[in-house]
């Protein structure tokens, strides 16, 4: 029986703002590794199981993510050599029970039969691969017998930010417990009977769907109907948005695991972190002699017990203790390390005030490349576009702005009204309001363009697309 990794990549990681944003969230960031994002590390970790486990081959993963991050996720998968991953798009976030049901239906269709699903959040960090492999091997035995297996992490401290699982004999789950008080968490740690609830699972696709139908048939029916009306384009499996919106929002724990008689738990005895906040990243990271985590262009004098991260410029810290300082091109966070859970309050205020710093970085990723906001005023906006070789912007027009494109490097193939022209370095073209236009990089090197927009409104929703290479 094949094992299909199911990677859940729908979160926004708002407690790691300003680095994690809605359109570039923490699983896509290199938080613990200079080369690979948490998503990439998760997939590489699970694919390394192939050859270790004799239960069957590791199949290509299924990734469940939201519409906004689909191209970024696809690019990250392709950059580590994965070109056949099925990416299932959730029209709306409905928590883990519906997301896993989508993956289970996709697995049954693609395998033409049952399969074991190894369900993993995209944003967890695990260094002890030997312990991970041992836990997966134990879980496979139980899952093949019809168990819905969850992985419990051996607790190392009285943590109030995690759920707990009370474990009984023969891997039986006795009880799931939500986030406890500090006193209760300490008693769990002292008893030795509780594990942290990791959010990782292994079970047969058919067993999960059967148990979901038994305990939450409303979720099962809504997901089944929405999946039956799916469409496929490029790398993506698109779920019917209207039908999916009718699905209740629920976690797998509440919908299935706390109700089923088939719940089993396997202890994972290695190190683990969900990298859910700045203090958890600090705890997990390597530290210098002053117990600091210094990342990027940082200078520190008389600094202790701090996490300081620079993304775009020099950050200097002097004589401070127990702080988190995170700098990005458009926002700086300074907070006491023990207030990490309150970052969400700032993110909520940003959203309520109609700002964009919770959604985008100044550099925004698109399937054709990236653009960076360089300057903006009441009646102008300047962007730097980098179009990858072969990249194509959609055939489009705008009602509220004109655009002036100047080629900095590379070659641009431009559709401007009824004209099609080639532009090279130092050449430019002007696109009036309402004129249909498109841009393409026909060359073998990146195309860099400065785009000057003039008008009264510069929102991304002022794009009328007539055709698009990427199916947007």
| Of the candidate ranges 30-34, 134-138, 442-446, the one whose mean pLDDT is the lowest | 30-34
State what percent of residues in the chain have pLDDT above 90. 72
Residue 29: inside a domain, yes or no? yes
Q: What is the pLDDT of residue 153?
A: 93
> Distance (Å, rounded) from C-alpha 70 to C-alpha 398?
24
State the residue for tokens 């008893």: 191
Same structural domain, 143 and 193: yes
Mean pLDDT over residues 232-250, rounded? Answer: 91
Mean pLDDT over residues 422-446, rounded? Answer: 96
Q: What is the pLDDT of residue 57?
A: 78
> Distance (Å, rounded) from C-alpha 159 to C-alpha 180?
8
Residue 253: inside a domain, yes or no? yes
Mean pLDDT over residues 170-181, rounded? Answer: 88
Same structural domain, 263 and 295: no
Q: What is the pLDDT of residue 420?
A: 95
> Distance (Å, rounded) from C-alpha 118 to C-alpha 137?
11
- CATH code of 434's domain: 2.60.120.10
> Distance (Å, rounded) from C-alpha 112 to C-alpha 270?
35
Q: Work out the number of other CB atoms within 10 angstroms of the CB of residue 359.
A: 15
Mean pLDDT over residues 144-172, rounded? Answer: 90
Same structural domain, 160 and 57: yes
> Distance (Å, rounded) from C-alpha 346 to C-alpha 61?
35
Q: What is the pLDDT of residue 341?
A: 86
Residue 354: inside a domain, yes or no? no
Residue ending a domain, choose from 268, 302, 335: 268
Cα-trace Rg, the chain: 24
Confidence of residue 461 (pLDDT cuts 50, 70, 90): confident
Residue 56 in this model has a pLDDT that exceeds 70: no
Same structural domain, 371 and 254: no
Cβ–Cβ under 8 Å, residues 307 and 337:
yes
Residue 1 in this model has a pLDDT that exceeds 80: no
Residue 12 in this model has a pLDDT that exceeds 90: no
Residue 373 in this model has a pLDDT that exceeds 90: no
Burial readout 271-292 (b: 16 or more C-beta within 10 A, e: otherwise): ebbbbbbbbbbbbbbeeeeeeb
Residue 338 in this model has a pLDDT that exceeds 70: yes
Q: What is the pLDDT of residue 231?
A: 93
Residue 454 burial by Cβ neighbours in a 10 Å radius (0-12, 13-18, 19+): middle
Mean pLDDT over residues 260-276, rounded? Answer: 92
Give the structural domain span for 459: 363-467
Comparison of pLDDT for 339 and 67, the residue scoring more: 339
Same structural domain, 367 and 312: no
Residue 210: inside a domain, yes or no? yes
Best CA proximity match to 44, nearest among 77, 74, 17, 11: 77
Cβ–Cβ under 8 Å, residues 99 and 222:
no
Confidence of residue 43 (pLDDT cuts 50, 70, 90): very high
Tokens of 117: 């699903």
Same structural domain, 315 and 391: no
| Of the candidate ranges 42-51, 127-136, 305-314, the one whose mean pLDDT is the lowest | 42-51
Best CA proximity match to 293, nearest among 279, 273, 277: 279
Q: Is the dihedral of CA 30, 34, 35, 40 positive or negative?
A: negative
Same structural domain, 192 and 123: yes
> Distance (Å, rounded) from C-alpha 50 to C-alpha 78?
19
Residue 335 in this model has a pLDDT that exceeds 90: yes
Confidence of residue 238 (pLDDT cuts 50, 70, 90): very high
Residue 469 in this model has a pLDDT that exceeds 80: yes
- CATH code of 11's domain: 3.90.550.10
Full-model pTM: 0.85
Residue ending a domain, choose from 215, 248, 268: 268
Mean pLDDT over residues 380-389, rounded? Answer: 95
Confidence of residue 400 (pLDDT cuts 50, 70, 90): very high
Mean pLDDT over residues 225-246, rounded? Answer: 92
Confidence of residue 47 (pLDDT cuts 50, 70, 90): confident
Q: What is the pLDDT of residue 55?
A: 53
Same structural domain, 262 and 287: no
Mean pLDDT computed over every residue of the chain: 92
Q: What is the pLDDT of residue 436?
A: 97
> Distance (Å, rounded) from C-alpha 335 to C-alpha 341?
11
Residue 472: inside a domain, yes or no? no
Residue 23: inside a domain, yes or no? yes
Mean pLDDT over residues 234-258, rounded? Answer: 93
Total domains in the fold of the chain: 3
Same structural domain, 224 and 299: no
Same structural domain, 190 and 263: yes
Measure the CA angle with vertex 64, ends 225 and 113; round to 5°. 60
Residue 458: inside a domain, yes or no? yes
> Distance (Å, rounded) from C-alpha 358 to C-alpha 85?
29
State what percent of residues in the chain have pLDDT above 70. 98
Same structural domain, 250 and 285: no
Same structural domain, 298 and 330: yes
Residue 358: inside a domain, yes or no? no
| Of the candidate ranges 21-35, 53-67, 336-350, 454-468, the one whose mean pLDDT is the lowest | 53-67
Residue ending a domain, choose from 288, 313, 344: 344
């Amino acid at each position: 029986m094949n094992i299909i990794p199911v990677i859940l990549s729908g979160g926004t990681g708002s407690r790691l703002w300003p680095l994690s944003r809605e359109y570039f969230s923490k699983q896509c960031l290199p938080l613990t590794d200079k080369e690979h994002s948490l998503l990439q590390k998760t997939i590489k970790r699970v694919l390394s199981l192939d050859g270790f486990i004799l239960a069957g081959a590791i199949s290509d993963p299924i990734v469940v993510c939201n519409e906004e991050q689909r191209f970024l996720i696809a690019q990250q998968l392709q950059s580590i050599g994965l070109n056949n991953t099925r990416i299932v798009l959730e029209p709306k976030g409905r928590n883990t029970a519906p997301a896993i049901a989508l993956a289970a239906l996709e697995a049954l269709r693609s395998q033409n039969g049952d399969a074991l699903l190894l369900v993993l959040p995209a944003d967890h960090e695990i260094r002890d691969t030997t312990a991970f492999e041992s836990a997966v091997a134990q879980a496979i035995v139980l899952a093949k017998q019809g168990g819905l297996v969850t992985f419990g992490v051996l607790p190392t401290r009285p943590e109030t930010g995690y759920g707990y699982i009370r474990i009984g004999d023969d891997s039986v789950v006795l009880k799931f417990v939500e986030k406890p008080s500090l006193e209760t968490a300490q008693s769990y740690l002292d008893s030795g009977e509780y594990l942290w609830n990791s959010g990782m699972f292994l079970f047969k696709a058919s067993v999960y769907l059967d148990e979901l139908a038994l305990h939450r048939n409303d979720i099962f029916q809504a997901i089944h109907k929405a999946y039956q009306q799916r469409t496929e384009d490029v790398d993506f499996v698109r779920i019917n948005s209207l039908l999916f919106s009718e699905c209740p929002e629920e976690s797998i724990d509440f919908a299935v695991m706390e109700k089923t008689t088939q719940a089993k738990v396997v202890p994972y005895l290695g190190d683990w972190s969900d990298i859910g906040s700045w203090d958890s990243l600090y705890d997990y990271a390597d530290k210098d002699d002053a117990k600091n985590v210094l990342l990027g262009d940082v200078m520190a004098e008389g600094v202790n017990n701090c996490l300081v991260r620079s993304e775009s410029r020099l950050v200097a810290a002097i004589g401070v203790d127990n702080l988190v300082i995170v700098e990005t091109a458009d926002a700086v966070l300074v907070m006491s390390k023990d207030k990490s859970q309150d970052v969400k309050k700032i993110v909520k205020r940003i959203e309520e005030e109609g700002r964009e710093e919770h959604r985008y970085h100044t550099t925004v990723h698109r399937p054709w490349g990236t653009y960076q906001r360089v300057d903006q005023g009441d009646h102008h906006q300047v962007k730097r576009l980098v179009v990858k070789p072969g990249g194509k912007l959609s055939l489009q027009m705008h009602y509220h702005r004109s655009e002036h494109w100047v080629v900095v490097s590379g070659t641009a193939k431009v559709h401007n009204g009824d004209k099609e022209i080639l532009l090279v370095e130092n050449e430019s073209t002007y696109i009036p309001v309402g004129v249909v236009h498109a841009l393409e990089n026909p060359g073998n090197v990146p195309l860099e363009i400065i785009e000057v927009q003039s008008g009264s409104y510069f929102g991304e929703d002022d794009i009328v697309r007539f055709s698009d290479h990427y199916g947007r």
